[in-house]
C-alpha cells in the first residue's frame, strides 16, 4: 500500500529544535534531573530531583515509555497503565548506487505489515536505517541494544540477502510507551496533568498533545480529543512488564502462521 502524501523526518533534529524554541520562549530545561519525589506547598508543588528542588504551580507528566525508569518517582498511577517496550534501530555503512537500486529504488519510507514488523529507509548519506521491536525488551542500554542489533541484522539479511554482509556502523534504541488498547491518553490524575501512551506514533500525537496539555495547564479543556477516555490498569502489571517475552512469542507465532 502506497501513501502518496508522506515525508521523512529527522526526529533528533526535531526534538532539538523544539527544545531550542521552548528555551527562546522562556522555558527552563534541566537534563539528567529525574523527579524523585513531590509534595504540596501552598497552591503548588515542590518537585524533588537529584539536582535540587523545583517549585511549580502545575505538574505535567509526559514520561510515556520512561514512566518506570526512576523507581522513586511518584508515577505509580502511570506505571500500572503504561507498558514500556524497547524499539531499536541499526544503520549500515553507506550503500553503493547499485545496492540502493536493488534495495530501495523509490527512496521511500517503508513499514512491514507483520505483528513484529520492521521499518526502514535511506539516510541522507545513503545508509539503510532499519528498525523494529527486535526483542520484546523492557530496557534499552548498551547490552540490550547490542542483542537487539543482532536480531535486526538477521531480519535485514532475510529481507535483503544482498546486504547480508554489509557492515553495521550504528545501533541504538529507546523506549516506546504502549497502552493495552494502543490508544494514547491525556487528562488529569493523581494531581498531575498527563499525556502519554502513544504506542509508536509519538512523533505525530505528542506534538498535538503538547498543545492540548498547554491549554489544560491554562484551564482550557475543550481541545482535548481524549477527554473522558477511561484508562484501566494492565492486569498484574506494576511497572516492570515481566510478560513481554510471552507477548513476543505470541505475536511471533501469529506472524509465522499468517
Residues 57-104 pLDDT 10s:
999 999 999 998 888 889 999 999 999 988 899 999 999 999 999 999
The rounded distance, in Å, linking the Cα atoms of 146 and 143 is 5
Q: Is residue 15 assigned to a domain?
A: no
The pLDDT, as a whole number, for residue 72 is 82
Task: Please check the confidence at residue 144 and state whether its pLDDT lies above 90.
Answer: no
**Where among 177, 197, 225 does a domain terminate?**
177
- What is the model's pLDDT at position 41? 94
pLDDT above 90 for 251: no
* pLDDT at residue 68, as a whole number: 87
Does 22 fall in a domain?
no
Query: Could you tell me if 234 and 107 lie in one domain?
Result: no
**Same domain (yes/no): 128, 158:** yes
- Both 173 and 184 in a single domain? no
Three-state DSSP at 15 gives helix
**Structural domain boundaries, residue 90:** 84-177
User: Looking at the domain assignment, is residue 196 inside a domain?
Assistant: yes
Domain count, the chain: 2
- What's the CA gap between 74 and 38, in Å, rounded? 7
- Cα dihedral 201, 130, 65, 223 in deg (nearest 10): -20
Q: What's the chain's average pLDDT? A: 90
Average pLDDT, integer, range 148-170:
94
One domain, residues 90 and 161: yes
The answer to whether residue 201 is domain-embedded is yes
Order of all β-strands in the sheet with 168-178: 110-111, 118-122, 128-132, 83-92, 168-178
Residues 77 and 199 in one domain: yes
- Whole-number Cα distances in Å, 176 to 88, 169, 237: 10, 23, 16
What confidence tier does 213 reach under pLDDT thresholds 50, 70, 90? very high
77/95 same-domain check: no
pLDDT confidence of residue 250: 66
Give the pLDDT confidence score for residue 143 in this predicted structure.
82
Mean predicted confidence (pLDDT) in 209-222 = 93
| Of 201, 115, 128, residue with least CA distance to 159 | 128
The domain spanning residue 144 has which CATH number? 3.30.9.10
Residues 99 and 168 in one domain: yes
Q: Tell me which of 150, 177, 204 is where a domain ends.
A: 177
* 207 within domain boundaries: yes
Query: What CATH number has the domain bearing residue 192?
Result: 3.50.50.60
pLDDT at 199 over 80: yes
pLDDT tens digits along 35-68: 999 999 999 999 999 999 999 999 999 999 999 8
The answer on 169 and 151 residing in a single domain is yes
What pLDDT, on the 0 to 100 scale, is given for residue 135? 67
Q: Are residues 117 and 168 in the same domain?
A: yes
- pLDDT at position 236 over 90: no
Q: Which of 35, 27, 67, 64 is nearest to 51 (CA)?
A: 35
Query: What average pLDDT score do residues 186-206 get?
Result: 92
Residue 117 lies in a domain: yes
Distance CA 156, CA 150 (A): 10
Q: Which residue has the higher pLDDT, 221 or 165?
A: 165
**pLDDT value at residue 167:** 96
Q: Which residues contact 142 (CB under 8 A, 6 or more apart)?
A: none
Q: Is the pLDDT of residue 225 over 70?
A: yes
Q: Which of 61-70, 82-91, 143-152, 159-168 has the lowest mean pLDDT?
A: 143-152
The three grid cell numbers given for residue 200, joined into one nine-digit string: 509508536
Dihedral of alpha carbons 193, 61, 196, 251, sign: negative
Q: What is the pLDDT of residues 9-28, one digit of tens each?
A: 888 999 999 999 999 999 99
- Phi and psi, residue 49, nearest 5°: -140, 165
Does residue 90 sit in the same domain as residue 121? Answer: yes
Q: Are residues 70 and 192 in the same domain?
A: yes
Question: What pLDDT score does 152 carry?
Answer: 93
Q: Give just the sign of the alpha carbon dihedral 226, 229, 230, 236.
A: negative
With respect to residue 16, please indicate whether it lies within any of the assigned structural domains: no
28 domain residue, yes or no: no
**What are the Cα distances from residue 115, in Å, to 2, 188, 248, 249, 257?**
19, 32, 9, 11, 11
Kindly tell me if the per-residue pLDDT of 245 is higher than 80: no
Which of 145, 177, 209 is where one domain is finished? 177
Residue 215 contacts by C-beta under 8 Å, 6 or more apart in sequence? 221, 223, 224
Q: Under 8 Å CB-to-CB from 62, ≥6 apart: which residues?
A: 194, 195, 196, 206, 210, 213
| Same domain flag for 185 and 77 | yes
Amino acid at each position: 500500500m502506497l501513501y502518496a502524501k508522506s515525508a521523512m523526518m529527522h526526529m533528533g533534529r526535531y526534538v532539538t529544535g523544539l527544545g531550542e524554541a521552548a528555551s527562546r520562549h522562556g522555558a527552563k530545561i534541566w537534563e539528567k534531573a529525574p523527579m524523585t519525589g513531590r509534595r504540596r506547598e501552598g497552591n503548588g508543588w515542590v518537585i524533588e530531583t537529584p539536582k535540587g528542588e523545583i517549585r511549580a504551580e502545575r505538574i505535567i507528566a509526559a514520561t510515556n515509555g520512561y514512566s518506570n525508569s526512576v523507581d522513586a518517582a511518584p508515577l505509580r498511577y502511570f506505571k500500572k497503565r503504561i507498558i514500556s517496550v524497547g524499539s531499536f534501530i541499526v544503520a549500515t555503512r553507506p550503500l553503493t548506487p547499485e545496492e540502493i537500486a536493488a534495495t530501495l529504488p523509490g527512496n521511500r519510507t517503508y513499514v512491514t505489515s507483520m505483528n513484529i514488523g520492521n521499518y526502514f529507509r535511506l539516510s541522507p548519506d545513503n545508509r539503510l536505517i532499519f528498525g523494529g521491536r527486535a526483542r520484546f525488551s523492557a530496557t534499552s542500554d548498551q547490552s540490550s541494544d547490542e542483542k537487539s542489533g543482532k536480531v535486526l541484522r538477521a531480519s535485514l539479511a532475510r529481507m535483503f540477502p544482498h546486504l547480508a554482509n554489509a557492515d553495521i556502523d550504528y545501533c541504538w534504541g529507546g523506549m516506546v510507551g504502549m497502552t493495552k488498547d494502543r490508544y494514547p491518553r491525556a487528562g488529569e490524575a493523581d494531581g498531575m496533568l498527563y499525556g502519554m501512551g502513544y504506542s509508536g506514533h509519538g512523533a505525530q500525537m505528542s506534538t498535538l498533545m503538547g498543545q492540548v496539555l498547554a491549554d489544560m495547564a491554562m484551564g482550557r479543556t475543550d481541545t482535548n480529543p481524549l477527554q473522558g477516555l477511561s484508562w484501566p490498569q494492565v492486569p498484574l502489571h506494576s511497572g516492570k512488564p515481566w510478560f513481554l517475552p510471552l507477548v513476543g512469542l505470541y505475536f511471533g507465532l501469529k506472524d509465522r502462521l499468517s
